[in-house]
A and B are shown apart, each in its own frame.
Chain A
Amino acid sequence: MTTNKWFKRFFSILCAFSLFAIPIAIAGCSGGCKSTERTAYVGSGVTHISVTAALRSWNDYLGLRDAELTALANTDPAKAAKERQKLGEQNAKIKDAYAKYQAAQLAVLTAAQLFGNLSPDDPNAPAAADRLNASIAASATTMNSVIDLLKQFGVKVK
């Protein structure tokens, strides 16, 4: 039950940030933002804040599970060890997904910076814009990977 509470908290934070990130991204292309470059810069920052907040909640959850499994180890050490092993595997997968997300975010910043340093009539501008769009798409995929992993761990996203 307590576990469900922490998962709910974790996803409520993720959903809350997503609800903020989407309007900001839309506003970026509708007059609230002066350039594609700035949209990418702001979007990258908002995404990063969301992901780090989600990971902090994941950290809280792991702390709670650690306390639960330490108590369980007194009565059923085998079950506690198995649960601990399972969480270790899940944790490793999230860590790997986060590493990919970090790399994708750095790629977005690099592409946005390169694009921003070109004048609009530069012949390389269209290619730079394509690279920026591709890096943003890749970044979204890596963020979704983290969420998909948590779904695989039995989390119901409402």
Chain B
Amino acid sequence: MNTALINLVIFAVQTLLREAPAAIAGIRALLTVDNPTDADYEAARKRIIADTYESLVPNAAKFPHNPTVDAPASQE
């Protein structure tokens, strides 16, 4: 059980280091803020608002959701 957990942690850390160096930089930047100011909060809000679903998942446009596709056709 412990070995499995250690393996999982090692795998997770390797994945993080390999896949997301930019994310590590982001976390580092967050940790440097000791006392967040109003400007820090405003910047954090802007980041969250700027990360729209469309900007993060541009391929979503290839899968438009059309709830009427499976609706039974009218008999009239």
Which residues of A are at the interface with B, using a C-beta cutoff of 8 A? 9, 12-13, 15-17, 19-20, 24, 34-35, 37-38, 41-42, 44-46, 48-50, 52-53, 55-56, 58-60, 62-63, 66, 84-85, 87-89, 91-92, 94-95, 98-99, 102, 105-106, 109-110, 112-113, 116
Are A88 and B64 in contact, with the CB atoms below 8 A? yes
**B76 on interface, CB distance cutoff 8 Å:** no
Chain B contact residue count (CB 8 A cutoff):
41
Which residues of B are at the interface with A, using a C-beta cutoff of 8 A? 8-9, 11-13, 15-16, 19-20, 23, 26-27, 30-31, 33-36, 38, 40-41, 44-45, 47-49, 51, 53, 56-60, 62-67, 69-70
What's the Cα separation between A109 and B70 when bound, in Å?
41
Q: Give the number of A-B contacts (CB < 8 Å).
A: 131
What's the Cα separation between A43 and B40 when bound, in Å?
14
Are B9 and A17 in contact, with the CB atoms below 8 A? no
Q: Which of A9, A24, A89 makes the CB contact (< 8 A) with B65? A: A89
What's the Cα separation between A44 and B44 when bound, in Å?
9
Q: Which of A34, A38, A56 makes the CB contact (< 8 A) with B56? A: A56
Residues of A within 8 A of B69 (CB): 85
What's the Cα separation between A83 and B69 when bound, in Å?
12
Q: Which of B13, B44, B65, B67 makes the CB contact (< 8 A) with A91? A: B65
Residues of B within 8 A of A41 (CB): 30, 33, 36, 40-41, 44
Known contacts A16-B13, A20-B16, A116-B36; is-contact A91 B27 (Cβ 8 Å): no
